[in-house]
């Protein structure tokens, strides 16, 4: 089984338990272009007066402008979606010949392409947080709009419908969202209907199989907007913040005119950088408490310890409507012939029909899982 997945905006291939990174031609070309621009502007970034020039930028990590957001198996390989700088794009890539030239499907300035799913030459994609369908020439039709935010498109395995998760959003610009529910879009009938919703829970990443079973990830709803700090806490913290601000101001001038920071372990040109713990991870607009979750999973007796909370579960809904939790602490998943392929943030796991788990490979923060079959000519489906 050949598995392609994303981790940190990088594409990896897992084949027979061995994992290798696939080169991304478009990201490499974008990085080379940015490096060339940076080289041409080096003179503006030098000298003690550089910090006062508007042109000064911090290009320490060019990959910060690169975001690979979706994968889907397709004819003769797979397709991926990306945002390179301010340009959204969809490209085609071969898994057998990863260094072969990539095919171009779509590029658009100031457009953001999220997750994607391909079937029979039709590409469902999240375009600027709404659902759209592209053809292989890059032409597209937007299906949803308004105060909502869609994600996780998936073509039905039993009919021509398109599934996705959706959440309503506020109109006051505060980025307040409701719980995610699962909806189905039927282009032929011109209908949109809600299939599953749960008060107090987010329902994410819908998929179904040819037997009529439906799958999704369920987790407790949490508003992405941080709670406002109390007035009393703000007053108590004011002296501390004032001292930090004064020290930071003096530190900047120490670097400019003295050539050295006041903090001995601070690098020049890196005044604003703070080192984060490797276990402080943001996923789906949430801070993932990896170490805490791993300890709780160990205490619960989990044999394969992941870094996601056990209340983030994978649910299977049978044709008769009965629900079964088949996995806990699931980061992402996809259906395949052998069962359900899952990621727990540390490993790739295969869950068989009897609920047994098998470790496929070590894979840190693997998401957007995609199984590449030997013959994809008639099955261009994200699976």
Model confidence over 9-26: pLDDT tens digits? 899 999 988 999 999 988
Among 68-77, 254-263, 291-300, 332-341, the minimum mean pLDDT is found in: 254-263
pLDDT at site 175: 67
Residue 126 lies in a domain: yes
Residue 258 lies in a domain: no
Please say if the pLDDT value at position 255 is more than 60: no
Q: pLDDT for 325-365, tens place per residue? A: 999 999 999 999 999 999 999 999 999 887 789 999 999 99
Q: Which of 375, 382, 364 is nearest to 14 (CA)?
A: 364
Q: Which residue has the higher pLDDT, 176 or 152?
A: 152
Of the pLDDT bands very low, low, confident and very high (cuts 50, 70, 90), residue 116 is very high
Question: From residue 2, how far is each of 17, 173, 180, 377 by CA, in Å?
Answer: 9, 43, 31, 16
Q: What is the CATH number of the domain that holds 208?
A: 2.120.10.30
Residue 291 lies in a domain: no
Look up the domain containing 318 and give its range.
Answer: 2-227+299-372
Distance CA 189, CA 162 (A): 12
Q: pLDDT for 46-76, tens place per residue? A: 655 555 555 544 444 445 688 999 999 987 7
Residue 318 lies in a domain: yes
pLDDT at site 305: 86
Residue 107 lies in a domain: yes
| Total tally of structural domains belonging to the chain | 1
Residue 146 lies in a domain: yes
Residue 25 lies in a domain: yes
Residue 322 lies in a domain: yes
Q: Can you give the pTM of this predicted structure? A: 0.79
The predicted model gives 193-198 an average pLDDT of 96
CB 4 within 8 A of CB 11: yes
3-state secondary structure the chain: CEEEEECCCCEEEEECCEEEEECCHHHHHHHHHHHHHHHHCHHHHCCCCHHHCCCCCCCCCHHHHEEEEEEEEECCEEEEEEEECCEEEEEEECCCCCCCCCEEEEEEECCCEEEEEEECCEEEEEECCEEEEECCCCCEEECCCCCEEEEEEEECCCCCCEEEEEEEECCCCCCCECCCEEEEEECCCCEEEEEECCCCEEEEEEEECCCCCEEEEEEECCCCCCCCCCHHHHHHHHHHHHHHHHHHHHHHHHHHHHCCCCCCCCCCCCCCCCCCCCCEEEECCEEEEHHHHHHHHHHCCCCCCCCCCCCCEEEEECCCCCEEEEEECCCEEEEECCEEEEECCCEEEEECCCCCEEEEEECCCCEEEEEECCCCCCCCCCC
CB 312 within 8 A of CB 219: yes
């Amino acid at each position: 089984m050949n598995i392609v997945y994303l981790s940190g905006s990088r594409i990896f291939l897992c084949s027979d338990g061995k994992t290798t990174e696939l080169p991304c031609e478009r990201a490499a070309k974008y990085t080379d272009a940015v490096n060339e621009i940076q080289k041409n502007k080096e003179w503006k970034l030098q000298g003690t007066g550089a910090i006062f020039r508007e042109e000064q930028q911090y290009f320490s990590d060019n990959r910060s402008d690169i975001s690979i957001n979706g994968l889907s198996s397709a004819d003769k390989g797979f397709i991926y979606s990306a945002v390179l700088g301010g340009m959204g794009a969809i490209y085609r890539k071969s898994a057998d010949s990863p260094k072969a030239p990539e095919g171009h499907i779509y590029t658009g300035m100031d457009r953001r392409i999220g997750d994607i799913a391909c079937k029979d030459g039709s590409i469902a994609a999240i375009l600027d947080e709404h659902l759209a369908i592209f053809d292989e020439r890059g032409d597209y039709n937007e299906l949803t709009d308004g105060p909502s935010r869609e994600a996780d498109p998936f073509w039905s395995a039993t009919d021509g419908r398109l599934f996705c998760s959706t959440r309503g959003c506020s109109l006051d610009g505060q980025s307040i969202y409701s719980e995610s529910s699962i909806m189905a879009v039927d282009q032929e009938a011109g209908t949109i209907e809600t299939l599953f919703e749960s008060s107090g829970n987010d329902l994410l990443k819908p998929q179904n199989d040819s037997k009529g079973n439906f799958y999704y990830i369920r987790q407790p709803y949490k508003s992405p907007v941080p709670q406002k700090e109390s007035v009393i806490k703000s007053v108590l913290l004011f002296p501390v913040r004032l001292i930090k601000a004064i020290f930071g101001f003096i530190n900047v001038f120490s670097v400019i005119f003295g050539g050295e920071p006041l903090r001995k372990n601070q690098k020049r040109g890196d005044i604003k950088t703070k080192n984060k713990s490797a276990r402080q991870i943001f996923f789906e607009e949430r801070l993932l408490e990896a170490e805490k979750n791993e300890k709780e999973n160990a205490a619960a007796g989990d044999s394969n310890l992941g870094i996601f909370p056990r209340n983030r579960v994978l649910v299977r809904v049978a044709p008769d409507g009965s629900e079964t939790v088949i996995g806990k602490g699931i980061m992402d998943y996809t259906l395949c012939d052998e069962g359900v392929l899952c990621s727990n943030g540390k490993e790739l796991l295969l869950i068989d029909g009897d609920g047994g788990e098998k470790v496929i490979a070590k894979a840190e923060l693997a998401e957007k899982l995609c199984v590449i079959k030997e013959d994809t000519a008639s099955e261009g489906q994200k699976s």
